[in-house]
Structure 1
Amino acid sequence: MVKKSLLLALNLLMMTSLLGGCTPAKTEETIQSNKNTIEKEKLNEEVLQGNSVEHETENEPAANSMEQNDEESHAENQGEEDAVRQEKTVEGYVLDVEGNTITVDLENPEGRNYSEEGLDHGVKFDITNAEKEVIPTSGYSEDRECRIKTGITVLITYYEENGKNIVTKISTDNDEKEIIVYVSSGEIEEITDKTMKIHVREGDYSGESLVFDTTETSIPEEASVNSTVTVTYYLKENTYYALSFIFDDL
């Protein structure tokens, strides 16, 4: 009986020892598992943070590039606008006036050498909102009206916009220019059906020998070489067009 009780006590002690030995092992396993979970969560969090930073870094140059492009575009547009608004000043002869649009010969601002001069290269200007000014001349009075008309010389300040020349200020002395006519006298050197060559002694182009186109006038049949003649003429594209002849010895 004592032996059986002793055996039961021994078995109980062994079971207690076994149970007590298993508890620490289970606790370590749980702690290690918790550590692994925490480290995994930290790793995931670092990965997420890294992706976020990388994403922001990638987007930052793009955003900066867009801002830079906007600034460059604005500067470019401003530069174009300034270029368009840049004013110029020119002088010319008014060939035609139609409403608020004038056509101007910028190559020769003075009187015409012939009636059609400048028509092939006239430049149009819009004077709708232009300030008009009269240039003082002899006999000038302050209440003189600025009359923009064909045949006058004008000083124009303008800028270009949408392919148009917009005038901001136009000035003139209101003096209408006539066709420029020349007069020369000399001896006839040669006569043909359509020309007359004259060595000029007096007047315009004195000392030169000029060939005159005679299609716009008539030559007396008595005219001959060495005759003295006075010719009235105009100049067109380097050709001297005779308007009349006066012979001193006929």
Structure 2
Amino acid sequence: MKKRLTVMISMLCILMNFSGCEETLERDETESYNQEFQNPDGDTKKKPTPTVRPTPTEEPEESVKMVPKVTQPLSEETTEELAEVTKEVEEPEEPVIQPAKEEKTAEGYILDRSDNVLYLDLENTGSRTYPEEGKDRAVAFDISNAEIILTNPGQDVPNSNPTNVSCTVSVTYYTEDGCNIATAVSGDGCEQGMVTYVSTGTIIDWEGNLVTLELTEGDYAGTTETFDIAGAYVSGELTSGSVAGVTYYIKESDRIAASLSVGGYEKEAQ
């Protein structure tokens, strides 16, 4: 029994020694490996780089995979609207050029003036042949912003303003919305009096406000004319064969007497 125990103890010691030898051997091999990469001067040689195996990439779970976005196609109407907007942005609008206003020139006699409006007779631009001539054909001109030009400022002119009634003017203007807009008004400022005639003749006949004379001197001498004396001043008695002088104007072929003198007494006709 004692002998068997001794053998077992011996085997245990052998096992322990063998294990210690393996540990010593591994430590010696490690030190020998480290020393192998050192030179005598102490420089360390580059150790071989260990190979690193890539870590396998895990596939994303099915629930988190990216799904491509599906875009709905634009309607034709929307596409056209976008095209118009793009065109407006890319092509700025060209400035609108207003057409030049066509200017005209007219000459007329000033029949009347109201504030900044002149009423002109464009048919007869000179003296009136009878009162109120041209009133039925008056043409209005707005002179609010017109340049007023006196054509002969160096002369002795009764009026310094050429836009007075009875003056003849030249007007430069354009038409806008049916209105004549003057840009310039020029004239000499001389008023035009009414055209009158003076004749002398023999009274042939009279009836009411009509007197017939055989004209011997002055205007229309050698003719026989009938005069309307309704608004005239008459001097003397109207008798057949008497000599009378008459001042008158002509309106549409009618002779309208301003005055009639017979024998030196002047009175208003009845």
The TM-score, its normalising length taken from structure 2, stands at 0.55
Aligned amino acid, residue 230 of structure 1: G
Identity fraction in percent: 37
Conserved 8 A contact 2:235-2:261: no
User: Which residue of 1 is the match for residue 240 of structure 2?
Assistant: 225
Segments of 5+ residues of structure 1 without an aligned counterpart are 1-73
The structure 1 residue matched to 2:207, chosen from 192, 195, 202, is 192
The structure 2 residue matched to 1:104, chosen from 110, 117, 120, is 120
Conserved 8 A contact 2:235-2:263: no
Change (3 A) 1:229 1:129: same
Q: Partners of 1:193 and 1:90 in 2: how far apart? A: 44
Q: Partners of 1:222 and 1:167 in 2: how far apart? A: 54
SS in 1 for 2:124: coil
User: Which residue of 1 is the match for residue 146 of structure 2?
Assistant: 130
Higher deviation after alignment, 123-132 or 109-118 = 109-118
User: Which residue of 1 is the match for residue 220 of structure 2?
Assistant: 205
Q: How much has 1:240 moved relative to structure 2?
A: 1.1
Q: Partners of 2:102 and 2:156 in 1: how far apart? A: 32
Conserved 8 A contact 2:228-2:257: yes
Task: Determine if the alignment matches structure 1 residue 114 to structure 2 residue 125.
Answer: no
Conserved 8 A contact 1:96-1:104: yes
Task: Determine if the alignment matches structure 1 residue 94 to structure 2 residue 126.
Answer: no
Q: How much has 1:127 moved relative to structure 2?
A: 1.2
User: Which residue of 2 is the match for residue 139 of structure 1?
Assistant: 155
Conserved 8 A contact 2:108-2:124: yes
Task: Determine if the alignment matches structure 1 residue 150 to structure 2 residue 165.
Answer: yes
SS in 2 for 1:125: strand
Q: How much has 1:197 moved relative to structure 2?
A: 1.3
SS in 2 for 1:178: coil
Conserved 8 A contact 1:186-1:228: yes
Segments of 5+ residues of structure 2 without an aligned counterpart are 1-95, 266-270
Conserved 8 A contact 2:227-2:256: yes
Q: How much has 1:249 moved relative to structure 2?
A: 8.6
Q: How much has 1:164 moved relative to structure 2?
A: 0.8
The TM-score, its normalising length taken from structure 1, stands at 0.59
The structure with higher relative contact order (CA 8 Å, sep 6+) is 1
Q: Partners of 1:249 and 1:94 in 2: how far apart? A: 38
Change (3 A) 1:135 1:208: farther
Conserved 8 A contact 2:237-2:262: no
Q: How much has 1:185 moved relative to structure 2?
A: 0.8
CA RMSD, 1 decimal: 2.9
Q: How much has 1:248 moved relative to structure 2?
A: 5.4
SS in 1 for 2:186: strand
Conserved 8 A contact 1:158-1:166: yes
- Once the two structures are superposed, what CA deviation does each residue of 1:207-229 show, in whole Å capped at 9, x if it has no partner? 22211011113656732233211
Larger Rg: 2
User: Which residue of 2 is the match for residue 244 of structure 1?
Assistant: 259
Task: Determine if the alignment matches structure 1 residue 165 to structure 2 residue 180.
Answer: yes
Q: How much has 1:115 moved relative to structure 2?
A: 2.8
Between the two proteins, the alignment pairs up a number of residues equal to 169
Q: How much has 1:104 moved relative to structure 2?
A: 0.7
Aligned amino acid, residue 222 of structure 2: G
SS in 1 for 2:137: coil
SS in 2 for 1:120: helix
Which has a greater percent of helix? 1
User: Which residue of 1 is the match for residue 68 of structure 2?
Assistant: none
Q: Partners of 1:146 and 1:219 in 2: how far apart? A: 37
Conserved 8 A contact 2:109-2:121: yes
SS in 1 for 2:126: coil
Conserved 8 A contact 2:237-2:263: no
